[in-house]
Structure formats: structure tokens, C-alpha cells
């Protein structure tokens, strides 16, 4: 029985127990319908509490049911039945009340939540909109602007904020069950609060609301659900609840069967499945102190991410000046988190205390996991590993943040190579969710498990990858970048390719991205590889020629584009260079449509993805999608290149 009813005097405790997150699967909905009827018809019961077993209140509808035909009773009907109850219902919330879970709570007459509870309507992130009355009841409770903010962002709010906005009636400080029972007893004789759908939407400034809607739609970049949320909210504000609920249902069903929602659901489950067995094969080693070598862009970011996750950090740089800059970078990141109120002043001070800088490798002697983030150069990295091997604890796990280099070759620089893994972070390392865990052949499973446990503590999505040039993400990116360079030699222009990628849903195109990252890094890599590049391989020299002219991208004001402050302009000099290169190679330039460009990019991504699977570099196609969506701006609502090849 996943819904049970148990009486305490005259109060019914209706408990949902449907692990892991109490999703409203069909048996739960059916159980709730029975419980609602039981409470209504039992004269001894005067009030009911909706409470959940396990780690959370209801985290939403059961997403796994969305691919099956809908089964009665439907959640909106459960919500209506709850709202129509003639005895007061109180939602007792702990953990997360999300989506359909919050919608059930909104159909209760009162809501109480623990101080650590989170409440939200994340449907938009699954390509949906709240489909059990949320778009209608929430604005009637907390006002249209606030409701729209929650529904369009999908971000849950903390109990404190929920209390301030009126979403919950009280915060429970000690015992949820006991305090809610007490609340129920106190309110037994109160008149039943008017159901939310019978209330009107509080006054608001309609112009400001329209402006809020315009901003949401502009930010959606091709995703349909944010607009649907706005449409539903408008109807909820302008129409009566019955009409608005019917409109919400129509929109919900339409979105549920849309490829965008299917893609977003695919990514939701792919992210949860990735790397699941990494910590199961072996016990992770205990880690408290993280060593970071190199305090540049990545090292400082990794140090900050580690501090924010509660680790002690030893940061090593090659000289005093570099150390001062590195420490300053870390401090600046922490100050930024404080300024954005992501951490408290006391957390900030604790993190600063947990940071130690040194120019001597001896500073690493207490580290349990050491991440190297020095220059991308095999000789430099091997020299660093040889040094750190002398001071590191024998059980410490050693990791490199290399973007492309052979981790197995780096591992050969230490006495015990199986303890070396790759931890490939993305910039900015304290923000980007993706972490590639590169596993060289023969790696110690407990070193791998430690890397995975570290990723989890940092809140990262950790994707296992084998050793090859660029692992999963950079290898695919190199392949399609090369293809884009072929296309510009053959007749397209960078601005056309970038526009195509943006229209597809990328935040920026490949050429804009290169300008942002700096063209010099890839140039250095190409020069390194020049000796081993097969003579038969087509090679486009345009990027090299840009670098030879000192055009390194945004940082030098010129790259693929010309920069006036932050604004990129097409540079006729670059167009001339492209045309001259094509002419030099006797290429007759032809025109490309946007569809042709995007089809080609996708084809190359999928082809390289398949090669990566065939070689065992990635475990599953879904892992590749997770990498491309979380590290390379592939539009989430398209599900990833491998997903697209299946539909
Ligand atoms: N339906 C089905 N399964 C779900 C689920 C859901 N709504 N939410 C989580 N799960 C599953 C996960 O797939 C995972 O399964 P697994 O163990 O087999 O991999 C398990 O529950 C645990 O999930 P997490 O690993 O994500 O656990 P966390 O503790 O990290 O996070 C959570 C818990 C915050 C609840 C997170 O799972 C989450 O955000 N869930 C989705 C919430 C959501 O989007 N709800 C809206 C659903 S749509 C809806 O309600 C429509 C309505 O308006 C009609
Ligand atoms: P960076 O140039 O900003 O920083 C490198 C730092 O290493 C410098 O501060 C330098 O002083 C320090 N250093 C060099 N030799 C050292 C030594 N022997 N001992 C101690 N410190 C030393 O470089 P960045 O961008 O941080 O890259 C570092 C590594 O991370 C590279 O392997 C790179 O490929 C990789 N990476 C970079 C990403 C990026 O977006 N920049 C993304 C993912 C990985």
C-alpha cells in the first residue's frame, strides 16, 4: 500500500510511501482518491494531514509514466478532489515538494514545511508546464509575477522564501509530524479557507507582467515550454479557474507528446544513470584535503569548487608571483559567491581558512587527492607528476585536468601508475556541472571510485571516459570544428555557421566560442601535432594564419571576428583570407543553406560519437549526450546528438 491512513484522535495522517521520491504513480493517485473519500465519509475524522515517508514529500508526477497512455485517476482530478474536501487538509512537507507534489500541496487548505524543504514547479525543465492546476492555483496564492518566476525558471525556493511569499503557512522547526498535528488541532474550528481556484489573482501591474513574459520568451532560445507557461499564466489571470484549468490541461498534454519534452526527459534520466556504478565497483578512499597544482584559470576554479564543497585545499604554484595571483583568483571566486548570496559570510571565512598556498610541493604531503592543472604540455605535466610523486601520501589519488593529453602516458611518470586518473573539469570549474572522469587502462578501481565520489561531493555530473585525444567532449568538438573549417573553405562564412548553430539552440556558434576561449591554445596544439598529422588529411590553414597575424580572439580584439568592446563584427579581412585560401587550393566556393550546415555538424558529431562508442571511450550513447549538453552548449531540449540520431 503506497498510501495509508492512520488516525490520531480526530485527525487522519494520510501517508504516501512510494520510494525513492514519492512520485505520484498511478497506485499513489488511486490511493489518494481512496484516502480523500475515507476522510470525507468518516464522521470521526475532522481534519487530514498529507505527509510522506522517506527522504522527501512528493517530488512530482512519475516521469516514467509519461511515455505510457494516461491512467486514471489523473492527477488534476486528485487535486480537484482534495480541493473540494469539506474537512481541512494540511500538507506536511519535508525534502522536496516539486511539480505535481507542490500541486497537491496547493490543493490542500494549509501548507507547513520544514526549514530545509524546497518547493518548486520544475516542469518547464522537462519541456512541460504544471499540469495539475499549478498554473491556476499558484498565482492565486502568491501573485502572478512571483508564480511566473517560479514556473518559468523551474527553480525551487527555500522554505524561508516560500513562507515570505505566502506559499506556505508555517515553517516547522523541530518535529514535522508533531507540529503539524498541533497546527491541525488549533485550526479545527476555523472556517475552511477558500479553495485557491475559487480565489481571484491578487492585483499586479499588467505591463510589468507582460515585460516579464517578453524576457522569458526571449531567453527560451527555441524551447517551447517557457512560452506555454506564459500562455497558461495569462489565461489563469484573465479567465475563471475552470476555463484556465481546462486550458492548462490541453497545453500539458500537447507538450507531453512533443519531441522537446521527450528529449528533456531523456536527458533527465541519462544524467541520473551516468557513472552510477563507478562507486559501486570499489570503495572510494577517504578524502578531506585536495591538492591543486597550478593556480591559473582551471586550478583556481577547481580549488574554489573544492572549498565550496567543504574540502581543505592546498594550492601549489611555481613561484611567489604566480601563487599570489592564483590565491587571488580563488579568493575572488569565493567573494563572488558571497556577493551573490550563495554562501554566508561565516561559510566564506571558513573556506578562506581552509585554503593554503605554497610554492613547495611539500605543501601536498597531507592531500588525499591531488589535481594537476598546469600548462597543457606533456613534458611539463610529466615533470610535475614525477615531483609530486615524491611527496604525495602513498594512498593519495593523483589526477590530471588535461584537455587532450594521454593520461596513461602522464601516469608513467609516477611509481604507482594505477593511482593516476584524469579529472577533466570545464571552465568555470566551480560553475560548470560536467566532469569527465578519464580512466586509463589498469587504473585502480578505488582511485576511480574516489574520483567519482569527489565529483559527487562537488555536485558534478561525472561521466566516465576512456583515454584518447580529447576524451569524449573535446574529441567530438574537434571533429565538428574541423568540419566547420572545411565548410568555410568550401563556401560558408563563420557568421553564417555561428548563426545556424544559434538558431539550432546553441548559446553561441563554434567560431564565436573559439574567439571567446582564445585561438592560441588550439594553435599550440595543432603545431604540436603537425609532425604526426597524416599528409593525406585535409588541413585548413585559416585559423593558423589568423594566429600568425596575432588574432587570438576577444583577448586581442580580433580573431574570427573584429571586436568593438563586447560586440563582434564581421571582419572583411577575414572574409578575404578565407576566399584567398579557397582560391589557393583551387576550391570553387559554393553556397550552403542553414539546414545543410546543421545537418553536416550533427552528422559529424554522431559519426565521431559512434567511433567513441565503438572504441569503448564512452560507455553508452546517453553518456555522450550528457557531455554535449552539459559541457558544450548542445541544446538540452534536443536531447543530445546521439538521441537525435535515434528519433
Ligand atoms: N518520476 C520518476 N522518477 C523520479 C522522479 C520523478 N518525478 N524524480 C526522481 N526520480 C527518480 C530518479 O530517476 C532516480 O532514480 P534512480 O535511482 O533509478 O536513478 C531517483 O528518483 C532519485 O533521483 P535523484 O538521483 O535525482 O535524487 P536526488 O536526491 O539527487 O534528487 C529530486 C531528488 C530533487 C526529487 C530530483 O530527483 C528531481 O528533481 N526530480 C524531478 C522532479 C520533477 O521534475 N518533478 C516534476 C515532474 S513533472 C510533473 O510533476 C507534472 C505535473 O505538473 C503534472
Ligand atoms: P593557465 O595557463 O591559466 O594556468 C596554468 C597555471 O599552471 C599557471 O598559473 C602556471 O603558473 C601554473 N604552472 C605551470 N607549471 C607549473 C608547475 N610546474 N608547478 C606549479 N604550477 C605551474 O592554464 P589553464 O587554462 O588553467 O589550463 C590548465 C590545464 O587545464 C591545462 O592542461 C588545460 O588543457 C586544462 N583545461 C583547461 C580548460 C580551459 O578552459 N582553460 C578547460 C579544461 C581543462
Could you give the C-alpha distances from 593 to 88, 487, 500, 596, in angstroms and in order? 62, 11, 9, 5
Claim to verify: residue 54 and residue 180 sit in the same structural domain: yes
Q: For ligand 2, atom 36, which residue shows the shortest CA distance?
A: 403
Q: Do 402 and 410 form a contact (C-beta atoms < 8 A)?
A: yes
The tens digit of pLDDT for each residue in 91-116 reads 999 999 999 999 999 999 999 999 99
Q: What is the pLDDT of residues 38-84, one digit of tens each?
A: 999 999 999 999 999 999 999 999 999 999 998 999 999 999 999 99
Bin 183: left if φ > 0, else alpha if -120 < ψ < 50, else beta.
Answer: alpha
Model confidence pLDDT, tens digit, residues 169-188: 999 999 999 999 999 999 99
Catalytically active residues, by annotation = 103, 123
Calculate how far, in angstroms, residue 159's C-alpha sits from the geometric centre of ligand 1: 19
**Residues 442 and 298 occupy one common structural domain:** yes
403 CB less than 6 Å from ligand 2? yes
Q: Do 101 and 202 sit in the same domain of this protein?
A: yes
SS3 assignment, position 237: helix
Shared-domain flag, residues 339 and 455: yes
CATH number of the domain residue 375 falls in: 3.40.50.720
Q: Above 90 in pLDDT, residue 505?
A: yes
Supply the range of the domain harboring residue 385: 289-465
**Of 412, 400, 223, 147, the residue nearest 294 (C-alpha):** 400
Is the distance from the beta carbon of residue 374 to the nearest atom of ligand 2 less than 6 Å? yes
In a domain, 332, yes or no: yes
Q: Do 452 and 539 sit in the same domain of this protein?
A: no
Q: What is the pLDDT of residues 588-635, one digit of tens each?
A: 999 999 999 999 999 999 999 999 999 999 999 999 999 999 999 999
- Is 361 touching ligand 2 by the criterion CB < 6 Å? no
Alpha-helix runs per DSSP H in 49-112: 75-83, 100-107
The answer to whether residues 297 and 373 belong to one domain is yes
Could you tell me if 139 and 251 lie in one domain?
yes
230 and 301 in a single domain? The answer is no
For residues 108 and 126, the answer to whether their CB atoms sit within 8 Å is: no
Per-residue confidence (pLDDT) for residue 647, from 0 to 100: 80
For the Cβ of 99 lying below 6 angstroms from any atom of ligand 1, the answer is yes
Q: How many domains does the chain have?
A: 3
CA 297 – ligand 2 centroid, Å: 7
Sheet holding 355-358, edge to edge: 355-358, 312-316, 289-293, 369-372, 397-400, 420-425, 434-438, 461-465
CATH number for the domain including 505? 1.10.1040.50
Grid coordinates representing 240 are 475563471
Residues 6+ apart with CB under 8 A from 568: 512, 515, 561, 562
Both 116 and 207 in one domain: the answer is yes
Give distance in angstroms: CA of 370 to centre of ligand 2. Answer: 14
Q: Which residue has the cell 563584427?
A: 569
Choosing from 291, 297, 364, 424 the residue with most ligand 2 atoms within 8 A of its CB, the one to mutate for a pocket test is 297
Give the C-alpha separation, 243 to 477, whole Å.
48
The reply to whether ligand 2 has any atom less than 6 angstroms from the CB of 297 is yes
Q: What is the CATH number of the domain that holds 197?
A: 3.90.226.10
Work out the angle at residue 53's Cα, subtended by the Cα atoms of residues 48 and 59, and round it to the nearest 5 degrees: 90
User: Do residue 494 and residue 551 come from a single domain?
Assistant: yes
Please tell me the number of the ligand nearest to residue 399's CA: 2
What is the Cα–Cα distance from 339 to 261, expressed in whole angstroms? 35
Is residue 272 one of the residues assigned to a domain? no
Q: Residue 279 — pLDDT band, cuts 50, 70, 90?
A: confident
Average pLDDT of span 447-454 = 98
Extract the C-alpha cell encoding 205: 501591474
Shared-domain flag, residues 357 and 250: no
For residues 131-140, average pLDDT: 98
pTM (2 d.p.): 0.94
At which of 424, 445, 465 does a domain end?
465
Q: Mean pLDDT over residues 174-203, rounded?
A: 95
234, 257, 280 - which closes a domain: 257
Which of 257, 279, 313 is where one domain is finished?
257
At residue 368 the predicted structure's pLDDT band, cuts being 50, 70 and 90, is very high
Q: What is the dihedral of CA 447, 448, 454, 459, to 10 degrees?
A: 180
Amino acid at each position: 500500500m503506497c498510501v495509508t491512513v492512520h488516525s490520531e484522535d480526530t485527525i487522519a495522517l494520510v501517508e504516501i510511501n512510494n520510494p525513492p521520491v514519492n512520485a505520484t504513480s498511478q497506485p499513489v493517485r488511486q490511493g489518494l482518491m481512496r484516502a480523500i473519500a475515507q476522510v470525507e465519509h468518516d464522521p470521526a475524522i475532522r481534519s487530514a494531514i498529507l505527509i510522506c515517508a522517506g527522504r522527501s514529500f512528493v517530488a512530482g508526477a512519475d516521469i516514467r509514466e509519461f511515455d505510457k497512455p494516461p491512467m486514471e485517476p489523473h492527477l488534476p482530478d486528485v487535486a480537484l478532489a482534495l480541493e473540494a474536501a469539506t474537512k481541512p487538509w494540511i500538507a506536511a512537507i519535508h525534502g522536496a515538494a516539486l511539480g505535481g507534489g507542490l500541486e497537491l500541496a496547493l490543493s490542500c487548505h494549509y501548507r507547513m514545511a520544514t526549514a530545509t524543504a524546497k518547493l518548486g514547479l520544475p516542469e518547464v525543465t522537462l519541456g512541460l508546464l504544471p499540469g495539475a492546476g499549478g498554473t491556476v492555483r499558484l498565482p492565486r496564492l502568491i501573485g502572478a509575477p512571483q508564480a511566473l518566476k517560479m514556473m518559468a525558471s523551474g527553480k525551487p525556493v527555500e522554505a524561508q522564501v516560500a513562507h515570505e511569499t505566502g506559499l506556505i503557512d508555517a515553517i516547522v522547526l523541530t518535529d514535522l509530524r508533531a507540529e503539524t498535528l498541533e497546527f491541525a488541532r488549533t485550526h479545527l474550528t476555523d472556517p475552511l479557507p477558500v479553495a485557491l481556484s475559487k480565489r481571484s489573482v491578487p492585483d499586479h501591474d499588467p505591463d510589468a507582467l507582460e515585460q516579464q513574459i517578453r524576457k522569458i520568451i526571449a531567453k527560451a532560445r527555441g524551447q517551447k515550454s517557457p512560452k506555454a507557461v506564459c500562455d497558461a499564466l495569462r489565461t489563469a489571470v484573465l479567465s475563471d479557474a475552470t476555463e484556465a484549468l481546462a486550458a492548462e490541461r490541453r497545453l500539458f498534454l500537447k507538450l507531453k507528446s512533443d519531441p522537446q519534452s521527450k528529449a528533456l526527459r531523456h536527458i533527465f534520466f541519462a544524467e541520473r544513470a551516468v557513472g552510477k556504478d563507478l562507486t559501486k565497483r570499489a570503495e572510494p578512499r577517504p578524502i578531506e584535503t585536495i591538492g591543486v597544482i597550478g593556480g591559473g584559470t582551471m586550478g583556481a576554479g577547481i580549488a574554489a569548487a573544492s572549498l565550496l564543497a567543504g574540502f581543505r585545499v592546498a594550492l601549489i604554484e611555481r613561484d611567489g608571483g604566480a601563487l599570489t595571483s592564483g590565491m587571488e583568483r580563488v579568493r575572488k571566486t569565493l567573494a563572488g559567491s558571497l556577493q551573490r548570496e550563495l554562501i554566508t559570510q561565516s561559510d566564506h571565512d571558513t573556506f578562506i581558512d581552509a585554503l593554503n598556498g605554497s610554492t613547495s610541493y611539500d605543501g601536498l604531503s597531507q592531500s588525499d587527492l591531488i589535481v594537476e592543472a598546469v600548462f597543457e604540455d606533456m613534458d611539463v605535466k610529466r615533470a610535475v607528476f614525477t615531483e609530486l610523486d615524491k611527496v604525495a601520501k602513498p594512498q593519495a589519488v593523483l589526477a590530471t585536468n588535461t584537455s587532450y593529453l594521454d593520461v596513461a602516458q602522464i601516469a608513467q611518470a609516477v611509481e604507482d601508475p594505477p593511482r593516476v586518473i584524469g579529472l577533466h573539469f570545464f571552465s568555470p570549474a566551480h560553475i560548470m556541472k560536467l566532469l569527465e572522469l578519464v580512466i586509463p587502462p589498469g587504473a585502480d578501481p578505488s582511485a576511480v571510485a574516489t574520483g567519482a565520489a569527489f565529483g559527487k561531493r562537488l555536485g558534478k555530473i561525472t561521466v566516465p571516459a576512456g583515454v584518447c585525444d580529447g576524451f569524449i567532449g573535446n574529441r567530438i568538438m574537434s571533429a565538428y570544428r574541423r568540419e566547420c573549417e572545411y565548410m568555410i573553405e568550401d563556401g560558408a562564412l563563420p557568421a553564417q555557421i555561428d548563426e545556424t548553430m544559434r538558431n539550432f539552440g546553441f548559446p553561441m556558434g563554434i567560431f564565436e566560442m573559439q574567439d571567446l576561449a582564445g585561438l592560441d591554445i588550439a594553435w599550440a596544439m595543432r603545431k604540436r601535432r603537425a609532425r604526426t598529422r597524416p599528409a593525406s588529411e585535409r588541413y585548413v590553414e585559416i585559423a593558423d594564419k589568423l594566429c600568425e597575424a596575432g588574432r587570438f580572439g576577444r583577448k586581442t580584439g580580433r580573431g574570427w571576428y573584429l571586436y568593438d568592446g563586447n560586440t563582434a563584427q564581421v571582419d572583411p579581412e577575414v572574409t578575404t583570407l578565407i576566399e584567398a585560401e579557397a582560391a589557393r587550393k583551387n576550391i570553387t566556393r559554393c553556397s550552403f543553406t542553414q539546414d545543410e550546415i546543421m545537418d553536416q555538424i550533427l552528422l559529424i558529431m554522431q559519426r565521431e560519437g559512434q567511433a567513441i562508442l565503438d572504441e569503448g571511450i564512452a560507455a553508452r550513447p546517453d553518456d555522450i549526450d550528457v557531455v554535449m549538453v552539459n559541457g558544450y552548449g548542445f541544446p538540452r531540449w534536443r536531447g543530445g546528438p546521439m538521441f537525435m540520431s535515434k528519433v
